[in-house]
Amino acid sequence: MSALPAAATPTDPAAERNDFIRQIVRDDLASGKHAAIRTRFPPEPNGYLHIGHAKAICLDFGVAREFGGVCNLRFDDTNPAKEDPEYVAAIQDDVRWLGFDWAELRHASDYFGVFYLAAEKLVRDGHAFVCDLSAEQVREYRGTLTEPGRNSPFRGRSVEENLDLLRRMRAGEFADGARTLRAKIDMASGNINLRDPALYRIKKVAHQNTGDAWPIYPMYDFAHSLSDAIEGITHSLCTLEFEDHRPLYDWCVDKVDLAGNPDLLGPLAQAGLPNMAAKPRQIEFSRLFLNYNITSKRKLIALVSEGLVDGWDDPRMNTLQGLRRRGFTPASLRLFVERLGISKQNSVTDYGQLEAAVRDDLDAKAPRRLAVVDPIKLTITNLDDAYHETLRFSNHPKNPEMGERDVPFSNTLWIDRDDFFEVPPKGFHRLSPGAEVRLRGVGIVRCDEIVKNGERVVELRCTLDASTRPGGTGADRKVKGTIHWVCAKHAVEAEIRLYDRLFAVADPDDDSDGKTYKDHINPDSRRIVTGYVEPAAAQAQPEDRMQFERTGYFVADRRDHTGARPVFNRIVSLRDTWASKVGG
């Protein structure tokens, strides 16, 4: 595994970032509480990562990087029925794509032996018992937010009986769901998470890492807290929904006390894993809620499994794989997260902020190219049919270091249909009968004649004012409109996929009107058209990004694009068009 980048220096902008989590880390280092920082990113491999995970990744790995520490990637693989190696591979790919790497790759399943010994210790110490209540009965006994729960009738079992039953659970003697191991805490607690929560359940499902070795699996709160302790995590960063779980997290760490009971760590040595046992601190921060989006894994899985989208990397999906295929850059996602900041207050972020981040990132680095999305033919009648010229265009108007390229020009061009109106509306300054417009890099043309096929205009016949060509005597003559074009004789036909927001409403999860998120899928979230691009655009490699002048930012599709059959995805338009749609 490659090493993590060096810690931020005082001159590095990262060193100046400040939020309550980074301040805690600074204070802990300054006080000597920790000699080094250790964090972790602990995804469950039961689906693909989405935009919300980008915030957690940037924080977990970013804090470690900024303060000279390390961050582990640890898969919380305690529910094998929903896990898949496909998700494991995709998660690793996503983390690296975002620009991070991990100190160590771990799995909760690496510690199953430790978890089990810890469970036996809790039983011996009188802190856990085996319960025969069904899941439905457990819910009945749990109580409510205003009423205390009731003790399980099995709570008074002796240590010897509990140990015997736990070991028989471990041996696979009982059926799925027949028994659970529960913590013995307080059924009257105001925090429902402390009302004797389950620590182990019987689930006879093969595991991707451990096979059929375990017929019982630890619950999330138990496994997560002890995994952090095993790895010596100093700051366990979680989203706000885990705030009410923190007392249980601390209970598990304190009652098991791995640092004080090294005999529990024997399975680590047998597996060749280091023992970093320490007491971690859980700190919660706000989740990323983005309007026009959903982040429920269950709902994202439904979109894929029901064919409502074209897989996990559909460019309309907010999965990191989907955002990558759409053309979003890792730098734009990191910029987006940095602009959001870290707080303790949940709020909804406007999708336009994500789009603004990618615009800001690509504006400086994306080369410019000519492309026509909805073509209409333009013929320059005072140039011969054999006329051909090679023009030189800059790759970026603000960055001469990006160089220049050759752009072919002839008397037949493609222009965008939006640049012509037979009866122009007020304020329209592009082509119409008798009107003049400047062709980008060429000169001024006048529309003399239109050719129709039925009611549809199929060709514009125009005259070029040769004096307005670059270097000509009339080059400075002013007209109000400038439009782009591609040379019809040399343009390359391309499939252009015009992507937009997957949902047409700001809150797809709002079912107060009787509709579900599926009913709010935007019918215009994808349009596929055939357009034309200049040769330099067609030569792009998959995942090359560029600005189609006056149209938007596009990327050569990472799956389907080839030089012989170009395929471009629209990343984002040049301006936010949704504000006007919703009256903003």
| Residue 82 assigned ligand-binding role | no
202: annotated binding-site residue? Answer: no
Instruction: Tell me the two tokens of residue 422.
Output: 């037979």
Q: 288: annotated binding-site residue?
A: yes
Nearest one of 428, 369, 417 to 547, comparing CA atoms: 369
Count CA atoms within 13 Å of residue 281 on its CB side. Answer: 11
Annotation-wise, does 44 bind a ligand? yes
Name the one residue in this structure whose structure tokens are 């068009």: 577
d(CA 405, CA 408): 10
95 Cα distance to chain centroid: 10
Taking the CA atoms of residue 511, residue 516, residue 522 and residue 525 in that order, the dihedral angle to the nearest 10 degrees is 120
Task: Answer yes or no: is 55 a known binding residue.
Answer: yes
Q: Exposed, middle or buried by CB within 10 Å (0-12, 13-18, 19+), for 230? A: buried
Residue 53 marked in a binding site: yes
Helix (H, G, I), strand (E, B) or coil at 235: strand
Packed helices 112-124 and 159-170: angle between N→C axes, nearest 10 degrees: 160
Q: Is the dihedral of CA 404, 406, 411, 412 positive or negative?
A: negative
Does 45 show up as a binding residue in the annotation? yes
Answer yes or no: is 351 a known binding residue. no
Residue type present at position 246: R
Active site residues: 44, 287, 297
What residue has token string 């989208």? 309
How far apart CA 73 and CA 98 sit, in angstroms, is: 14
- The answer on whether 349 is annotated among ligand-binding residues is no
Which residues face 422 on adjacent strands? Answer: none
Q: Is 50 annotated as a binding residue?
A: yes
| Gap between the Cα atoms of 61 and 54, Å rounded | 11
Nearest CA to 447 among 456, 457, 437, 439? Answer: 437
Check the annotation: does 52 bind a ligand.
yes
Q: Is 303 left (phi over 0), alpha (psi -120 to 50) or beta?
A: alpha
Cα(500)–Cα(576) distance, rounded to whole angstroms? 11
Give the helix/strand (H/E) hosting 578: helix 578-581
CA distance 507 to 520: 9
User: CB 213: neighbour CB atoms within 10 A?
Assistant: 11
Q: Binding site for ATP: which residues?
A: 44-46, 50-56, 239, 287-288
Q: Binding site for L-glutamine: which residues?
A: 76, 220
Q: Binding site: which residues?
A: 44-46, 50-56, 76, 220, 239, 287-288
